[in-house]
């Protein structure tokens, strides 16, 4: 049986960064990817804007991914593509992982696992729309796959439901290729995508954004022929009398992403209901010893730069991993936060530069992010504004706060009027 | 007064542009790049575009491309028309030009992936 120190599942930007970092920290590493090529979802994200934080350059998705793939290949790290993980069993030394590919079935052993399986899109099943089920209803990711990898236009005239970033990016992309995007309909009163994408993808191309609006019905026999839209009230219920029929040949859904964690759950990894990803400590280790998580499997990121960073963090810690008892305390978030990662701190580990990621629950102007330990504010940072679509990142030295197993840590955001 | 969102980095600052005594005053930007962007937006707005070009290789029917630098916003669809005329017969590599000096704008359309080399 082949034996590794570290087995990375998923070959997107998170998994690539994790494998490179584990390898550079001395771990014998293997990466498993179910698709034919490495790069993950970035293969189809041909627009630019990747790597602004990391490289100060506006790279396209493939360029960003290939920089990592180049390093991965130069370092001669082992990878198996077109390979599926079918079973993971815990052993005394770590894990026995069953792999299936064209060569057959193989079991490999690894001391640690890094789950970098990315996220998946919410589909039509997860939003309630009435009517027939014609062809022409698909997710923004599927539309992206058709347009950018297969070179086939999936629509001539469409409506986009949801203002997630992939939907906004596709609104621009389809417009550039000559399709008509009749509007982006968002049930919430504020957009879910990045503000810059609202501007550079919709406003630049005069594509209307209808906030507090949704699609209630689809029409069509074989192919979609029209949708019914309506305004919604604060409870997200359609307002009678506001219905409108819009003729189109496709309805594109951009209604959110969910971390992909089937393997994690099968291993008994606890998930955070807020992030839908594993509960982790600052080393990005889940509640199962030796199992790490990073990238969009951990929480849905809006910037790939942070995805790579979390991969590097997980890779380094997996390489340095040695089984020992943990001494963990929770990091609680107040209701002002949508979520925060990590959710726990291991007092037996080095917490001198913890990478803290958080999102506010609402759009806030002039506010202060605070770390409170036992009722006392030990860290604060002012923000001119916080918006849920734009994740914030801080590096915090938690070792200064004299934490004990009894300490109560809470993250909070305070809004000061006129601040 | 005019409101403008800076699209230079993911922060997306909302800026306010005021005229006072013939001088333009820009507020709300977190860094200098915002100011530069605002001035460019008011004089000659520029954008980058990304797309794909057709290839003659069955395994990879399209190759992703982008402009090597910003182009005037009002020339976007002209450049798209040029991009859509291309059908690649060579295995172009990442960073190599697919169209040189497109429409005389002083920028190239470059390949953004090495996939043709790898397949
Ligand atoms: C459809 C879609 C479009 C997106 N578009 C954009 C965009 O335009 N711009 C942007 O900034 N972000 C976009 N994102 C977010 C994007 O996911 C992140 O920027 C980044 O790619 C996340 O990296 P990752 O490595 O965590 O996940 P991914 O890139 O999704 O990589 C995960 C990899 O794991 C593999 N995998 C999953 N499960 C298994 C398994 N069981 N066994 C083996 N391999 C497995 C997958 O095949 C995939 O290659 C998009 C996400 C999606 C889902
Ligand atoms: S002003 Fe600076 S920080 Fe703000 S969006 Fe523009 S580049 Fe980013």
Mean pLDDT across chain A, nearest whole number? 94
Q: Where are the alpha helices (DSSP H) in A198-272?
A: 262-266
Q: What is the pLDDT of residues A245-291, one digit of tens each?
A: 999 999 999 998 999 999 999 999 999 999 999 999 999 999 999 99
Does residue B12 sit in the same domain as residue B70? no
In short, whether A311's Cβ falls inside 6 Å of ligand 1 is no
Confidence band for A21, pLDDT divided at 50, 70 and 90: very high
Query: Given this model, what pLDDT does residue A125 score?
Result: 66
Which residue from A25, A224, A198 is spatially nearest to A124, judged by alpha carbons? A224
CATH number at residue A346: 2.60.40
Query: Given this model, what pLDDT does residue A48 score?
Result: 94
Cβ neighbours of A66 in B, within 8 Å: 94, 113-114
Does residue A248 sit in the same domain as residue A352? no
- Which residue out of A7, A8, A9, A10 has the highest number of ligand 1 atoms within 8 Å of its CB and is therefore the one to mutate? A10
In short, whether A14's Cβ falls inside 6 Å of ligand 1 is yes
Does residue B76 sit in the same domain as residue B111? yes
- Asked which of A290, A320, A350 is the last residue of a domain, the reply is A320
Query: Given this model, what pLDDT does residue B105 score?
Result: 97
Residue A10 has pLDDT above 90, yes or no: yes
Task: Measure B12 CA to ligand 1 centroid, in angstroms.
Answer: 24
Q: Out of B50, B54, B73, name the one closest to residue A60 (CB).
A: B50
Sign of CA dihedral A352, A355, A361, A366: positive
Task: Measure A45 CA to ligand 1 centroid, in angstroms.
Answer: 10
The pLDDT of A396-415, averaged and rounded, is 96
0.90 exceeded by the pTM? yes
Q: Residue A305: helix, strand or coil by DSSP?
A: helix
Does residue A139 sit in the same domain as residue A175? yes
Does residue B33 sit in the same domain as residue B73? no
Q: Which ligand is nearest the CA of A53, by number?
A: 2
Residue A2 Cα, gap to closest chain B Cα (Å): 28
Percent of chain B with pLDDT over 90: 79
More confidently predicted of A224 and A133: A224
ipTM greater than 0.90: yes
As a whole number of angstroms, the distance between CA A385 and CA A392 comes to: 11
Does residue B94 sit in the same domain as residue B109? yes
Highest mean pLDDT among A194-198, A369-373, A412-416, B17-21: A369-373
**Contact at CB, B112 and A390, closer than 8 angstroms:** no
Query: Given this model, what pLDDT does residue A419 score?
Result: 42
When mean pLDDT is compared across A3-12, A85-94, A409-418, the lowest value belongs to A409-418
Residue A26 Cα, gap to closest chain B Cα (Å): 28
In short, whether A164's Cβ falls inside 6 Å of ligand 1 is no
Does residue B54 sit in the same domain as residue B28? no
More confidently predicted of B102 and A123: B102
Q: What is the pLDDT of residues A133-192, one digit of tens each?
A: 788 999 999 999 999 999 999 999 999 999 999 999 999 999 999 999 999 999 999 998
Q: Out of B12, B52, B73, name the one closest to residue A46 (CB).
A: B52
Burial class of residue A103 in the structure, from the number of CB atoms within 10 Å of its CB (0-12 exposed, 13-18 middle, 19+ buried): exposed
Percent of chain A with pLDDT over 90: 88
Confidence band for B21, pLDDT divided at 50, 70 and 90: confident
Size of interface A-B (CB pairs under 8 A): 81
Interface of B with A in 89-108 (CB under 8 A): 94
Query: Given this model, what pLDDT does residue A417 score?
Result: 61
Q: Out of A37, A149, A194, name the one closest to residue B12 (CB).
A: A194
Does residue A65 sit in the same domain as residue A167? no
Does residue A193 sit in the same domain as residue A231? yes
Does residue A134 sit in the same domain as residue A219? yes
Does residue B9 sit in the same domain as residue B35? yes
More confidently predicted of A275 and B11: A275
CATH number at residue A131: 3.50.50.60
Contacts of A400 by beta carbon, 8 Å cutoff, 6+ apart: A378
Find the residue in A nearest to B14 (Cα): A195
- Asked which of A320, A345, A368 is the last residue of a domain, the reply is A320
Q: Out of A47, A52, A390, name the one closest to residue B50 (CB).
A: A47
Does residue A230 sit in the same domain as residue A197? yes
Domain count, chain B: 2
Cβ neighbours of A303 in B, within 8 Å: 10
Task: Measure A355 CA to ligand 1 centroid, in angstroms.
Answer: 21
Does residue B39 sit in the same domain as residue B56? no
* Both tokens assigned to B10: 């993911």
Confidence band for B2, pLDDT divided at 50, 70 and 90: confident
Q: Where are the alpha helices (DSSP H) in A33-160?
A: 61-74, 140-145
The pLDDT of A297-312, averaged and rounded, is 95
Does residue B35 sit in the same domain as residue B56? no
Does residue B18 sit in the same domain as residue B65? no
**Contact at CB, B10 and A177, closer than 8 angstroms:** no
A175: β partners: none
Q: Which ligand is nearest the CA of A300, by number?
A: 1
Which residue from B39, B31, B35 is spatially nearest to B11, judged by alpha carbons? B31
When mean pLDDT is compared across A26-35, A61-70, A152-161, B35-44, the lowest value belongs to B35-44
What secondary structure letter does DSSP report for A380?
E
Q: Out of B7, B51, B64, name the one closest to residue A199 (CB).
A: B7
Residue A267 Cα, gap to closest chain B Cα (Å): 35
* Both tokens assigned to A214: 């949704």
Those residues of chain A whose CB sits closer than 8 Å to some CB in chain B are 37, 46-49, 52-53, 58-60, 62-63, 66, 147-151, 173, 176-177, 194-196, 198-200, 204, 302-303, 384-385, 387, 390
- Asked which of A302, A320, A338 is the last residue of a domain, the reply is A320
Does residue A10 sit in the same domain as residue A114? yes
Residue A418 has pLDDT above 70, yes or no: no
Find the residue in B nearest to A173 (Cα): B51
Does residue B64 sit in the same domain as residue B35? no
As a whole number of angstroms, the distance between CA A44 and CA A42 comes to: 5
Confidence band for A123, pLDDT divided at 50, 70 and 90: confident
Task: Measure A238 CA to ligand 1 centroid, in angstroms.
Answer: 33
Task: Measure A295 CA to ligand 1 centroid, in angstroms.
Answer: 8
Query: Given this model, what pLDDT does residue A124 score?
Result: 67
Does residue A140 sit in the same domain as residue A242? yes
In short, whether A84's Cβ falls inside 6 Å of ligand 1 is yes
Q: What residues make up the domain containing A358?
A: 328-419
Query: Given this model, what pLDDT does residue A126 score?
Result: 64
Query: Given this model, what pLDDT does residue A309 score?
Result: 97
Find the residue in B nearest to A383 (Cα): B30
Residue B116 has pLDDT above 80, yes or no: yes
Where would I find the beta strands (DSSP E) of chain B?
2-5, 14-20, 23-27, 46-47, 50-55, 62-67, 71-72, 87-88, 97-99, 109-111
Contacts of A56 by beta carbon, 8 Å cutoff, 6+ apart: none
What does the buried/exposed string (b/e) look like for A127-155 if buried means 16 or more CB atoms within 10 Å of the residue's CB? Answer: eebebeebebbbbbbbbbbbbbbebeebb
Does residue B56 sit in the same domain as residue B92? yes
Domain count, chain A: 3
As a whole number of angstroms, the distance between CA A217 and CA B59 comes to: 38
Does residue B54 sit in the same domain as residue B32? no
Q: What residues make up the domain containing B78?
A: 50-118
Find the residue in A nearest to B3 (Cα): A199
What secondary structure letter does DSSP report for A369?
E
Does residue A127 sit in the same domain as residue A234? yes
B52: β partners: B64
Q: What is the pLDDT of residues A332-348, one digit of tens each?
A: 999 999 999 999 999 99
Does residue A245 sit in the same domain as residue A131? yes
**Contact at CB, B10 and A390, closer than 8 angstroms:** yes
**Cβ atoms of B112 and B50 closer than 8 Å:** yes
Residue B23 has pLDDT above 90, yes or no: no
When mean pLDDT is compared across A63-67, A69-73, B115-119, the lowest value belongs to B115-119
Which residue from A331, A418, A411, A415 is spatially nearest to A371, judged by alpha carbons? A411
């Amino acid at each position: 049986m082949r034996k590794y120190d570290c087995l990375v599942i998923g070959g997107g930007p998170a998994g690539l960064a994790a494998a490179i970092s584990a390898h550079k920290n001395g771990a014998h590493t293997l990466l498993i990817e179910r698709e034919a090529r490495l790069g993950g979802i970035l293969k189809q994200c041909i627009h630019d804007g990747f790597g602004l934080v990391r490289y100060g350059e506006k790279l396209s998705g493939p360029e960003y991914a290939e920089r990592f793939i180049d390093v991965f290949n130069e370092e001669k790290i082992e990878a198996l593509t077109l390979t599926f993980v079918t079973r993971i069993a815990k052993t005394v030394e770590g894990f026995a992982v069953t792999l299936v590919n064209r060569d057959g079935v193989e079991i490999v052993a690894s001391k640690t696992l890094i789950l970098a399986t990315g996220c998946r899109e919410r589909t039509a099943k997860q939003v309630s729309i009435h009517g027939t089920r014609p062809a022409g209803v698909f997710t923004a990711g599927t539309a992206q796959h058709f347009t950018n990898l297969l070179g086939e236009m999936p629509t001539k005239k469409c409506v986009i439901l949801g203002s997630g970033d992939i939907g906004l990016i596709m609104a621009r992309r389809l417009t550039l290729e000559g399709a008509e995007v009749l509007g982006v309909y968002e049930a919430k009163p504020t957009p879910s995508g990045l503000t810059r994408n609202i501007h550079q993808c919709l406003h630049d191309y005069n594509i209307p954004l209808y906030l507090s609006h949704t699609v209630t019905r689809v029409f069509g026999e074989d192919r979609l022929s029209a949708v019914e839209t309506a305004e919604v009230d604060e409870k997200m219920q359609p307002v009678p009398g506001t219905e409108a029929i819009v003729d189109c040949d496709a309805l594109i859904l951009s209604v959110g992403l969910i971390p992909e964690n089937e393997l994690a759950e099968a291993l008994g990894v606890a998930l955070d209901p807020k992030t839908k990803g594993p509960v982790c400590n600052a080393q990005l280790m889940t509640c199962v010893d030796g199992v790490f998580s990073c990238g969009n499997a951990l929480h849905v990121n809006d910037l790939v730069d942070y995805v790579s960073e979390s991969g590097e963090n997980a890779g380094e810690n997996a390489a340095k991993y040695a089984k020992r008892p943990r001494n963990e305390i929770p990091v609680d978030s107040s209701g002002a936060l949508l979520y925060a990662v990590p959710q726990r701190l291991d007092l037996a580990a080095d917490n001198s530069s913890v990478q803290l990621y958080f999102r506010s629950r609402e759009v806030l102007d002039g506010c202060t992010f605070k770390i409170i330990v036992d009722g006392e504010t030990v860290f604060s940072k002012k923000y001119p504004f916080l918006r849920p679509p734009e994740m914030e990142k801080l590096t915090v030295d938690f070792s200064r706060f004299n934490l004990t197993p009894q300490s109560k840590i809470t993250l909070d955001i305070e809004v000061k009027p006129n601040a | 007064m005019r409101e403008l969102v800076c699209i230079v980095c993911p922060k997306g600052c909302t800026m306010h542009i005021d005229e006072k005594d013939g001088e333009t005053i820009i507020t709300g930007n977190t860094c200098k790049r915002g100011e530069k962007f605002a001035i460019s937006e008011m004089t000659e707005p520029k954008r980058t575009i990304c797309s794909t070009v057709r290839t003659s290789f069955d395994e990879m029917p399209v190759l992703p491309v982008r402009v090597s630098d910003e182009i005037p916003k009002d020339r976007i669809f002209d450049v798209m028309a040029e991009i859509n005329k291309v059908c690649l017969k060579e295995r172009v590599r990442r960073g190599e030009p697919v169209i040189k000096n497109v429409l005389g704008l002083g920028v190239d359309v470059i390949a953004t992936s090495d996939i043709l080399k790898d397949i």
